[in-house]
Chain A
């Protein structure tokens, strides 16, 4: 069935409904595979007091706070054993897998370093937001619009999350945490209904899984409390939510952001957000998103394009949208004479309040940061939520390990859960809980609803909106790809050289880490190929029965998480693989 848009509308073209959804071709994966008991002999297991999975702002804030608590309360610290706090991260070093805009509300980091001014001084930033502008783009113009109340950033800091977390990791180590990069968290160890730690991933396996000459098996790391701070599309987090029945009222949904950092001759003196072009407004396309441009001092700029992963057009490509976006005269003027120095991609958890886990704790387990669904998409804020929840998680974990307490009992972390939901984090999220979903109605209606929500602090409209899983988006085709600019290597770039610019040096003689149905209708395979910013998926041979083979190049993967949203399942490859972000 085809329809033609009314003439005079932007993008007049044919729309072909593909009548197929990625959700109908689920990946060969089950959360049960990720849950297991310890298998190492007891004296081979690595014992730690508190184990943190994830070296992002939530995990690191948690580690730093634990370091402070250990100093203040040596008696309880003793109960944590020889290795009181360990933090594992799958990237090559802290910051390698971190990517964000970012403009951060400094409230949480100030609280974290309260009474420690030198540590607060040391947080690397690009200064306070100097000014801001919000624009609605059309193909040729940039119309300045008053910033929606959710996008007011006065007093906030511009940061690189990768740089900031390299600094936070040093502080965590100084405070006594063992930071263990290049360590994938492969399985969640559960014993008698209680989380007792994780199993780290093997290293040195070949493409078929066979052990190579330098094969090093993973280890069981057992802990009194395990804190999952894996960020977006977390591997253990997804399995834990299923296993403990903690999935939120609504299914989780995601956005995909593609980012570049540019060195420019002309400083940008304010932060900029845009909406509109090159995204399409009609509701049938479900194209929600926009861009950012943030100065990083006088010499560099962070820019990126974000699009909701519930989009319908199977040729939509966030990477190419960013390239197309740069061709707008407004953006060209900002980048003029500059050169790209970094590239990356990452998903953002955007289900908000409704999709938050039913509880942020389970026996022996705490969820913090984006793993706990704590992202405020309307305000484009997640970093300070991560830091604050990490800090609270540290306090909850520490309390639970005090004499007379038991972190393994049911309800041990109800207090933490309540603190997050009832404190300023929960309050902010509740106010904007329906905003993202309102945009299903398209840009104008959605925008109107969003304003109403903001003004009423979430009380209006009275009904609650629902999330549809991103993978259930019915696909359609509109020849969108013909409008993507051809890469010129100066302003616009192809995916492969971008993957190279991310510092990705993943060993490709290792098992495939992406779980995906390999035989699917062409439309689904094409959707994946366009979706992936790193060109992991390619449409392979036609099987003659209406399906095609999906070809994978997993070594390109920058672990953005988009495949988990759109019908596959990302699992962590060998520790140390993936991008090596430093400026994102």
Chain B
């Protein structure tokens, strides 16, 4: 048996670190190219970054009906229950609540969940098991809602606040039928349903159409009299068929053209974005690495920077620049690039907007990271940020040469002035633990 089989690695002649880095980078860039080649019929449209999204959108998650209440509640910052109550209370008044709800349902766009491109690509290609979060609405809640609505309508009808029966029944059947069909069209656009759910969807459409037909029948019957019903219906049906026959090919072609055009456009956009991104980032880095291939340290720094950036782009959340987490992460990346020492940031708990004392804290943390990267001689710095309801803590730790905190001399002005004093001035505290040979840990704390 040979020492190497088909799978074993070709032994790269260069040093292990370089080979490893190149391999990693290659792996990364291979992963990036994957999404670009995927023809995807329904990519979600990403909201442009930095665009403020202060528009109310319906939310499927946690919704009872169309998600209007949940969407409005999230938009206004009110409890969902209040929104629901408002609509229910408006309902008895000539069905005003129902009407408004219906209009909002049509007008408000559906909230589109977005994910980082890498994660979306991984989901599409089946590289990860995504939890199906389209929560099947609670059967109990739906039954309760229907009973409530039925009771409400019955109450209004018996109290004489409603409409005449000749108008009411067609209207009731018609609106229930329309609601069923519209709801189906609504959710089908969002989630491509499969198996049992798809069958359920068709059932819903058929039921809705039947109800609408029933409504039309009743309306016609009450207007023209029951004996003329078959004739009127036949006339209506023939007219409909005629219109459908004339319009069908045209509608079909328009529809398929529209779909094809949209697909092409989205695909082209995605490809262009991807190509631009790869060109701007990965290709530049690869070129730099080739030119500096005799300097392992520079290569490592380049690879790490590129890796961080690509990972942020592929998997990262869109970060808001004004929060503590993003401020610390940004400072860490900056120092990492500047000094060539890896800084690992772990954030836990609530993210908070950077203001007053927290701004000072972020600056102090930056100074501490810089100190560690510059003076400690450690090959790595660990930063840990934890926010609770009462306080924010940041730990900056290195395993470098350390010093005696009792004798912070003049050369370590950064620690006294930029960290300890700055924290105290802003109502926080800085605690420094260090001893020669043991490394340093700086703990910053601010009450909220």
Q: Do A and B come from one complex?
A: no
Residues in A lying within 8 Å of B, measured CB to CB: none
